[in-house]
Chains A and B, each alone.
Chain A
Amino acid sequence: MTARSGHIFVSSPTDSKIYDLNPFTGAVIDFATGLSGLDGMAFSPDGSILYFVDVWRASCAGIPFLHRPRLIGFYVSDDIGWDRWTCDRSGFSYGLSLRKRQRRNVLGDRASRWTGPPAFHDGHRHRRQSWGLHRNRSNCLLPWSKRVSIALVYADQFAGEIMPAKRRLFRTTYVGYRTATVLRNLHEYELQWREPQGVEAAGRYWIPESGHLTCWPSDQLWNGRRSRVRSV
Protein backbone atom coordinates (compact mmCIF):
# COMPACT_ATOMS: atom_id res chain seq x y z
CA MET A 1 0.00 0.00 0.00
CA THR A 2 1.07 3.53 -0.50
CA ALA A 3 2.48 5.88 2.02
CA ARG A 4 -0.81 7.69 2.14
CA SER A 5 -3.15 4.76 2.45
CA GLY A 6 -5.25 5.21 5.54
CA HIS A 7 -4.67 8.93 5.62
CA ILE A 8 -7.56 11.33 5.96
CA PHE A 9 -7.84 14.52 3.98
CA VAL A 10 -9.41 17.35 5.90
CA SER A 11 -10.94 20.49 4.43
CA SER A 12 -10.47 23.63 6.44
CA PRO A 13 -12.35 26.64 5.11
CA THR A 14 -10.89 28.60 7.98
CA ASP A 15 -7.37 28.09 6.68
CA SER A 16 -8.39 27.74 3.01
CA LYS A 17 -6.47 24.50 2.96
CA ILE A 18 -6.83 20.81 2.50
CA TYR A 19 -4.71 18.93 4.98
CA ASP A 20 -3.24 15.47 4.73
CA LEU A 21 -3.68 13.83 8.12
CA ASN A 22 -2.16 10.56 9.23
CA PRO A 23 -4.68 9.65 11.93
CA PHE A 24 -2.41 7.09 13.52
CA THR A 25 0.53 9.38 14.09
CA GLY A 26 -1.31 12.70 14.17
CA ALA A 27 1.02 14.12 11.54
CA VAL A 28 -0.59 16.88 9.48
CA ILE A 29 0.83 18.39 6.30
CA ASP A 30 -0.61 20.78 3.75
CA PHE A 31 -2.00 19.10 0.68
CA ALA A 32 -3.45 22.15 -1.06
CA THR A 33 -3.57 25.79 -0.07
CA GLY A 34 -5.35 28.92 -1.20
CA LEU A 35 -8.73 27.24 -1.64
CA SER A 36 -11.50 29.45 -0.39
CA GLY A 37 -14.98 28.20 0.37
CA LEU A 38 -13.94 24.61 0.95
CA ASP A 39 -16.56 22.12 1.96
CA GLY A 40 -17.26 18.60 0.73
CA MET A 41 -14.60 16.46 -0.90
CA ALA A 42 -14.38 13.09 -2.59
CA PHE A 43 -11.69 10.95 -4.10
CA SER A 44 -12.25 9.43 -7.46
CA PRO A 45 -12.59 5.66 -7.21
CA ASP A 46 -9.09 5.07 -8.53
CA GLY A 47 -7.65 7.53 -6.06
CA SER A 48 -6.23 9.73 -8.77
CA ILE A 49 -8.19 12.91 -8.15
CA LEU A 50 -9.43 14.66 -5.06
CA TYR A 51 -12.52 16.64 -5.90
CA PHE A 52 -13.70 19.46 -3.72
CA VAL A 53 -16.52 21.93 -3.50
CA ASP A 54 -16.09 25.67 -3.38
CA VAL A 55 -19.29 26.98 -1.86
CA TRP A 56 -18.39 30.60 -2.43
CA ARG A 57 -17.99 30.15 -6.14
CA ALA A 58 -20.68 27.48 -6.31
CA SER A 59 -18.10 25.39 -8.04
CA CYS A 60 -16.52 22.01 -8.03
CA ALA A 61 -12.95 21.23 -8.94
CA GLY A 62 -10.48 18.41 -8.70
CA ILE A 63 -6.82 18.06 -7.87
CA PRO A 64 -4.84 15.28 -9.52
CA PHE A 65 -3.33 13.46 -6.62
CA LEU A 66 0.13 13.08 -8.09
CA HIS A 67 0.20 16.39 -9.94
CA ARG A 68 -1.19 18.87 -7.53
CA PRO A 69 -0.20 22.03 -9.39
CA ARG A 70 -2.57 21.02 -12.12
CA LEU A 71 -6.17 21.60 -11.22
CA ILE A 72 -9.14 20.10 -12.95
CA GLY A 73 -11.73 22.77 -12.75
CA PHE A 74 -15.28 23.07 -13.77
CA TYR A 75 -17.87 25.56 -12.81
CA VAL A 76 -21.31 24.25 -12.06
CA SER A 77 -24.39 26.37 -11.99
CA ASP A 78 -27.82 25.05 -12.70
CA ASP A 79 -29.95 28.02 -11.86
CA ILE A 80 -29.08 31.49 -13.04
CA GLY A 81 -31.35 33.00 -10.45
CA TRP A 82 -29.27 31.85 -7.56
CA ASP A 83 -26.90 34.05 -5.78
CA ARG A 84 -23.48 32.54 -5.62
CA TRP A 85 -23.29 33.46 -2.02
CA THR A 86 -26.30 31.46 -1.13
CA CYS A 87 -25.89 28.60 -3.53
CA ASP A 88 -24.32 25.82 -1.56
CA ARG A 89 -22.87 22.77 -3.18
CA SER A 90 -21.40 21.04 -0.27
CA GLY A 91 -21.76 17.29 -0.04
CA PHE A 92 -19.71 15.54 -2.63
CA SER A 93 -19.14 11.96 -3.45
CA TYR A 94 -18.78 9.37 -6.09
CA GLY A 95 -21.50 6.97 -6.82
CA LEU A 96 -20.54 3.43 -7.51
CA SER A 97 -21.98 0.83 -9.72
CA LEU A 98 -21.41 -2.38 -11.49
CA ARG A 99 -17.85 -2.76 -12.63
CA LYS A 100 -16.80 -6.28 -13.43
CA ARG A 101 -13.19 -5.55 -14.05
CA GLN A 102 -10.97 -4.58 -11.18
CA ARG A 103 -8.93 -1.48 -11.65
CA ARG A 104 -5.83 -0.32 -9.96
CA ASN A 105 -5.44 3.02 -8.37
CA VAL A 106 -2.79 5.41 -9.49
CA LEU A 107 -0.16 3.89 -7.30
CA GLY A 108 -0.73 0.32 -8.30
CA ASP A 109 -2.88 -0.93 -5.46
CA ARG A 110 -5.94 -2.86 -6.26
CA ALA A 111 -8.79 -0.59 -5.34
CA SER A 112 -10.70 -3.54 -4.00
CA ARG A 113 -8.05 -4.14 -1.38
CA TRP A 114 -9.35 -1.25 0.62
CA THR A 115 -12.27 -2.52 2.60
CA GLY A 116 -14.04 0.72 3.04
CA PRO A 117 -17.70 1.48 3.48
CA PRO A 118 -19.83 -1.13 1.79
CA ALA A 119 -21.53 -0.44 -1.46
CA PHE A 120 -25.24 -0.84 -1.46
CA HIS A 121 -26.25 -4.16 -2.82
CA ASP A 122 -29.95 -3.95 -3.13
CA GLY A 123 -30.15 -1.14 -5.60
CA HIS A 124 -33.42 0.56 -5.98
CA ARG A 125 -34.51 0.05 -2.42
CA HIS A 126 -32.20 2.81 -1.29
CA ARG A 127 -33.00 5.35 -3.89
CA ARG A 128 -35.72 7.07 -2.02
CA GLN A 129 -33.59 7.60 1.01
CA SER A 130 -30.51 9.06 -0.57
CA TRP A 131 -29.19 9.60 2.90
CA GLY A 132 -31.52 12.45 3.70
CA LEU A 133 -30.22 14.77 1.10
CA HIS A 134 -32.93 17.32 1.43
CA ARG A 135 -31.22 20.39 2.75
CA ASN A 136 -28.32 18.44 4.03
CA ARG A 137 -24.64 18.88 3.71
CA SER A 138 -23.40 15.38 3.99
CA ASN A 139 -21.57 13.37 1.47
CA CYS A 140 -24.00 11.49 -0.60
CA LEU A 141 -23.30 8.07 -1.93
CA LEU A 142 -25.19 7.23 -5.03
CA PRO A 143 -27.10 4.01 -4.59
CA TRP A 144 -25.85 0.87 -6.13
CA SER A 145 -27.42 0.38 -9.47
CA LYS A 146 -26.54 -1.77 -12.40
CA ARG A 147 -27.45 1.05 -14.67
CA VAL A 148 -25.14 3.66 -13.27
CA SER A 149 -21.46 3.41 -13.77
CA ILE A 150 -19.56 6.24 -12.15
CA ALA A 151 -21.09 9.51 -11.20
CA LEU A 152 -19.61 12.37 -9.31
CA VAL A 153 -22.48 13.96 -7.51
CA TYR A 154 -22.95 16.71 -5.04
CA ALA A 155 -25.65 17.62 -2.61
CA ASP A 156 -27.31 20.90 -3.21
CA GLN A 157 -28.26 22.17 0.18
CA PHE A 158 -30.76 24.75 -0.91
CA ALA A 159 -32.49 22.86 -3.65
CA GLY A 160 -32.51 19.60 -1.75
CA GLU A 161 -31.24 17.76 -4.78
CA ILE A 162 -28.56 15.34 -5.70
CA MET A 163 -26.95 16.90 -8.68
CA PRO A 164 -24.59 15.26 -11.12
CA ALA A 165 -21.33 17.08 -11.48
CA LYS A 166 -19.70 14.64 -13.79
CA ARG A 167 -20.30 11.15 -14.92
CA ARG A 168 -19.17 8.66 -17.42
CA LEU A 169 -21.03 5.80 -18.99
CA PHE A 170 -24.18 7.07 -17.45
CA ARG A 171 -27.20 5.28 -18.76
CA THR A 172 -29.93 5.69 -16.25
CA THR A 173 -32.57 8.37 -16.06
CA TYR A 174 -32.59 8.96 -12.37
CA VAL A 175 -30.33 10.75 -10.00
CA GLY A 176 -32.29 12.89 -7.66
CA TYR A 177 -34.26 15.58 -9.34
CA ARG A 178 -32.49 16.08 -12.61
CA THR A 179 -30.28 13.92 -14.68
CA ALA A 180 -27.53 14.56 -17.12
CA THR A 181 -25.61 12.45 -19.52
CA VAL A 182 -22.11 13.08 -20.67
CA LEU A 183 -22.20 12.89 -24.39
CA ARG A 184 -18.54 13.39 -24.92
CA ASN A 185 -15.82 14.15 -22.45
CA LEU A 186 -15.55 16.69 -19.73
CA HIS A 187 -13.46 18.80 -22.06
CA GLU A 188 -16.47 19.59 -24.12
CA TYR A 189 -19.00 20.28 -21.43
CA GLU A 190 -21.86 18.84 -23.29
CA LEU A 191 -24.57 17.37 -21.21
CA GLN A 192 -27.96 16.07 -21.89
CA TRP A 193 -30.54 16.96 -19.33
CA ARG A 194 -33.94 15.53 -18.87
CA GLU A 195 -36.50 17.12 -16.66
CA PRO A 196 -38.65 14.69 -14.71
CA GLN A 197 -41.74 16.76 -15.32
CA GLY A 198 -41.41 16.05 -18.99
CA VAL A 199 -40.43 19.54 -20.03
CA GLU A 200 -37.56 18.17 -22.03
CA ALA A 201 -38.66 14.63 -22.26
CA ALA A 202 -38.68 14.70 -26.01
CA GLY A 203 -35.10 15.48 -26.66
CA ARG A 204 -31.77 16.73 -25.66
CA TYR A 205 -30.21 20.09 -25.56
CA TRP A 206 -26.93 21.53 -24.60
CA ILE A 207 -26.86 23.07 -21.24
CA PRO A 208 -27.78 26.71 -21.74
CA GLU A 209 -26.48 29.59 -19.76
CA SER A 210 -28.95 28.90 -17.03
CA GLY A 211 -27.45 25.51 -16.45
CA HIS A 212 -23.98 25.16 -17.73
CA LEU A 213 -20.82 23.28 -17.06
CA THR A 214 -17.82 25.23 -18.17
CA CYS A 215 -14.13 25.23 -17.61
CA TRP A 216 -13.02 26.97 -14.53
CA PRO A 217 -9.53 28.40 -15.03
CA SER A 218 -7.17 27.46 -12.32
CA ASP A 219 -5.45 30.80 -12.32
CA GLN A 220 -7.57 31.95 -9.43
CA LEU A 221 -6.32 29.18 -7.26
CA TRP A 222 -2.90 28.12 -8.31
CA ASN A 223 -0.79 31.24 -8.51
CA GLY A 224 -1.22 31.76 -12.18
CA ARG A 225 -0.53 28.25 -13.30
CA ARG A 226 -2.94 27.25 -15.96
CA SER A 227 -5.17 24.28 -15.57
CA ARG A 228 -5.41 21.51 -18.05
CA VAL A 229 -8.83 20.04 -18.00
CA ARG A 230 -8.97 16.38 -18.71
CA SER A 231 -11.26 13.49 -18.23
CA VAL A 232 -10.52 10.67 -15.86
Chain B
Amino acid sequence: MSSIGPLGVAFLPGNGDGSRARFDNDGSIYRLPTHANGQVTGASLSSPAGSPRAFAQVFSGGVYHFYLARASANNVVEINPTTGGIVGPPVATINGALQLVPFPGPPLAP
Protein backbone atom coordinates (compact mmCIF):
# COMPACT_ATOMS: atom_id res chain seq x y z
CA MET B 1 0.00 0.00 0.00
CA SER B 2 1.23 3.45 -0.74
CA SER B 3 1.59 6.30 1.71
CA ILE B 4 -1.74 7.84 0.86
CA GLY B 5 -5.01 6.31 0.02
CA PRO B 6 -7.37 4.64 -0.28
CA LEU B 7 -8.71 7.27 -2.57
CA GLY B 8 -12.17 5.94 -3.15
CA VAL B 9 -14.70 3.63 -1.61
CA ALA B 10 -17.77 2.04 -3.16
CA PHE B 11 -20.19 -0.50 -1.84
CA LEU B 12 -21.30 -3.65 -3.55
CA PRO B 13 -24.99 -4.52 -3.25
CA GLY B 14 -26.49 -7.72 -2.00
CA ASN B 15 -24.29 -8.28 0.96
CA GLY B 16 -25.44 -7.34 4.41
CA ASP B 17 -22.00 -6.71 5.71
CA GLY B 18 -21.48 -3.88 3.26
CA SER B 19 -18.86 -5.44 1.04
CA ARG B 20 -16.92 -2.75 -0.61
CA ALA B 21 -14.53 -2.14 -3.37
CA ARG B 22 -11.70 0.09 -2.49
CA PHE B 23 -9.16 1.84 -4.57
CA ASP B 24 -5.68 2.76 -3.58
CA ASN B 25 -3.28 4.95 -5.46
CA ASP B 26 -0.78 2.18 -5.91
CA GLY B 27 -2.91 1.52 -8.97
CA SER B 28 -5.23 -1.23 -7.87
CA ILE B 29 -8.89 -1.78 -7.12
CA TYR B 30 -9.50 -4.07 -4.21
CA ARG B 31 -12.58 -6.00 -3.32
CA LEU B 32 -12.89 -6.44 0.40
CA PRO B 33 -15.56 -9.01 1.19
CA THR B 34 -15.76 -8.40 4.90
CA HIS B 35 -14.83 -5.78 7.43
CA ALA B 36 -11.97 -7.79 8.78
CA ASN B 37 -8.55 -6.21 8.89
CA GLY B 38 -5.70 -7.16 6.64
CA GLN B 39 -7.59 -8.17 3.51
CA VAL B 40 -5.55 -6.26 0.96
CA THR B 41 -3.23 -9.06 0.02
CA GLY B 42 -4.86 -11.08 -2.71
CA ALA B 43 -7.88 -8.80 -2.91
CA SER B 44 -6.77 -6.81 -5.93
CA LEU B 45 -9.21 -6.95 -8.84
CA SER B 46 -7.48 -4.79 -11.38
CA SER B 47 -4.95 -2.05 -11.86
CA PRO B 48 -6.41 0.53 -14.22
CA ALA B 49 -4.06 3.04 -15.75
CA GLY B 50 -4.51 6.78 -15.73
CA SER B 51 -4.10 7.64 -12.05
CA PRO B 52 -7.44 6.40 -10.76
CA ARG B 53 -8.94 8.46 -7.99
CA ALA B 54 -12.47 8.52 -6.62
CA PHE B 55 -15.36 6.10 -6.97
CA ALA B 56 -19.01 6.95 -7.38
CA GLN B 57 -21.95 4.63 -7.71
CA VAL B 58 -25.32 5.38 -9.22
CA PHE B 59 -28.38 3.19 -8.99
CA SER B 60 -30.18 3.02 -12.31
CA GLY B 61 -32.19 0.41 -14.12
CA GLY B 62 -32.20 -1.85 -11.11
CA VAL B 63 -28.44 -2.09 -10.83
CA TYR B 64 -25.56 -0.07 -9.53
CA HIS B 65 -23.20 1.55 -11.96
CA PHE B 66 -19.72 2.24 -10.65
CA TYR B 67 -17.64 5.10 -11.95
CA LEU B 68 -14.02 5.94 -11.50
CA ALA B 69 -12.20 9.24 -11.95
CA ARG B 70 -8.83 9.01 -13.62
CA ALA B 71 -6.78 12.12 -13.04
CA SER B 72 -3.92 11.75 -15.47
CA ALA B 73 -6.11 10.11 -18.10
CA ASN B 74 -8.43 13.11 -17.77
CA ASN B 75 -11.62 11.13 -17.85
CA VAL B 76 -14.34 9.31 -15.97
CA VAL B 77 -14.90 5.64 -16.77
CA GLU B 78 -17.39 3.00 -15.75
CA ILE B 79 -16.00 0.07 -13.81
CA ASN B 80 -17.19 -3.50 -13.78
CA PRO B 81 -17.59 -4.24 -10.06
CA THR B 82 -16.89 -7.92 -10.56
CA THR B 83 -13.70 -7.69 -12.54
CA GLY B 84 -12.58 -4.16 -11.80
CA GLY B 85 -12.15 -3.64 -15.53
CA ILE B 86 -13.14 -0.56 -17.46
CA VAL B 87 -16.49 -0.85 -19.23
CA GLY B 88 -16.55 0.66 -22.70
CA PRO B 89 -15.12 4.02 -23.70
CA PRO B 90 -14.74 6.82 -21.17
CA VAL B 91 -18.01 8.28 -19.98
CA ALA B 92 -16.63 11.80 -20.22
CA THR B 93 -13.39 13.66 -20.69
CA ILE B 94 -12.62 15.93 -17.75
CA ASN B 95 -9.23 17.44 -17.07
CA GLY B 96 -7.73 16.14 -13.85
CA ALA B 97 -10.91 14.43 -12.72
CA LEU B 98 -10.45 13.90 -9.02
CA GLN B 99 -13.47 13.54 -6.79
CA LEU B 100 -16.90 12.18 -7.71
CA VAL B 101 -20.13 12.60 -5.83
CA PRO B 102 -23.53 11.44 -7.06
CA PHE B 103 -26.68 13.49 -6.78
CA PRO B 104 -28.77 13.26 -4.71
CA GLY B 105 -26.61 12.94 -1.66
CA PRO B 106 -26.49 10.05 0.74
CA PRO B 107 -29.80 8.82 2.12
CA LEU B 108 -30.76 9.55 5.65
CA ALA B 109 -30.60 6.61 7.93
CA PRO B 110 -33.58 4.25 7.71
Q: For residues 143 through 170 of chain A, which have their beta carbon under 8 Å from a beta carbon of chain B?
A: 144, 157
Does A67 have its Cβ within 8 Å of any Cβ on chain B? no
Q: Chain B, 88-104, contact with A by CB distance < 8 Å: what is the 0/1 string?
A: 00011111111111111
Interface residue tally of chain A, by bracket? 35 or more
CB distance from A201 to the nearest CB of B (A): 30
Does A40 have its Cβ within 8 Å of any Cβ on chain B? yes
Check B99 against A129 for contact (C-beta < 8 Å).
Answer: no
Check B95 against A8 for contact (C-beta < 8 Å).
Answer: no
Q: For residues 23 through 65 of chain A, which have their beta carbon under 8 Å from a beta carbon of chain B?
A: 23-24, 26-28, 38-47, 50, 65
CB distance from B35 to the nearest CB of A (A): 6
Does B42 have its Cβ within 8 Å of any Cβ on chain A? no
Does A102 have its Cβ within 8 Å of any Cβ on chain B? yes
Check B107 against A42 for contact (C-beta < 8 Å).
Answer: no
Bound together, the chains give a CA A23 to CA B101 distance in angstroms of 12
Q: Contact check: which of A8, A26, A129, A132 meets B56 at CB < 8 Å?
A: A8
Q: For residues 1 through 29 of chain B, which have their beta carbon under 8 Å from a beta carbon of chain A?
A: 3-11, 18, 22
Check B108 against A45 for contact (C-beta < 8 Å).
Answer: yes
- Chain B residues with CB under 8 Å of A126's CB are 35
Q: Chain B, 65-98, contact with A by CB distance < 8 Å: what is the 0/1 string?
A: 1010100001010100000000000011111111
Does B57 have its Cβ within 8 Å of any Cβ on chain A? yes
Q: Chain A, 92-109, contact with B by CB distance < 8 Å: what is the 0/1 string?
A: 111011110011010001
* Known A-B contacts A14-B95, A15-B95; A117 and B109 likewise in contact (beta carbons under 8 Å): no
Check B105 against A46 for contact (C-beta < 8 Å).
Answer: yes
CB distance from B76 to the nearest CB of A (A): 6
**Which of A10, A92, A109, A116 is packed against the most chain B CB atoms within 10 Å?**
A10
* Known A-B contacts A114-B59, A135-B4; A8 and B76 likewise in contact (beta carbons under 8 Å): yes
Does A197 have its Cβ within 8 Å of any Cβ on chain B? no
Q: Which residues of A contact B (CB under 8 A)?
A: 2, 4-15, 19, 21, 23-24, 26-28, 38-47, 50, 65, 92-94, 96-99, 102-103, 105, 109, 111-112, 114-120, 125-126, 129, 131-132, 135-139, 141, 144, 157
Q: Which residues of B contact A (CB under 8 A)?
A: 3-11, 18, 22, 35, 37, 54, 56-60, 65, 67, 69, 74, 76, 78, 91-110
Given A19-B92, A126-B35, A139-B9, 16 more A-B residue pairs with CB atoms under 8 Å apart are A5-B104, A14-B74, A14-B95, A23-B67, A26-B92, A28-B92, A28-B93, A47-B103, A99-B108, A112-B110, A117-B10, A119-B106, A119-B109, A119-B110, A137-B4, A157-B4
The 7 closest A-B pairs by CB, nearest first: A43-B105, A14-B96, A47-B104, A14-B95, A11-B99, A117-B11, A99-B108
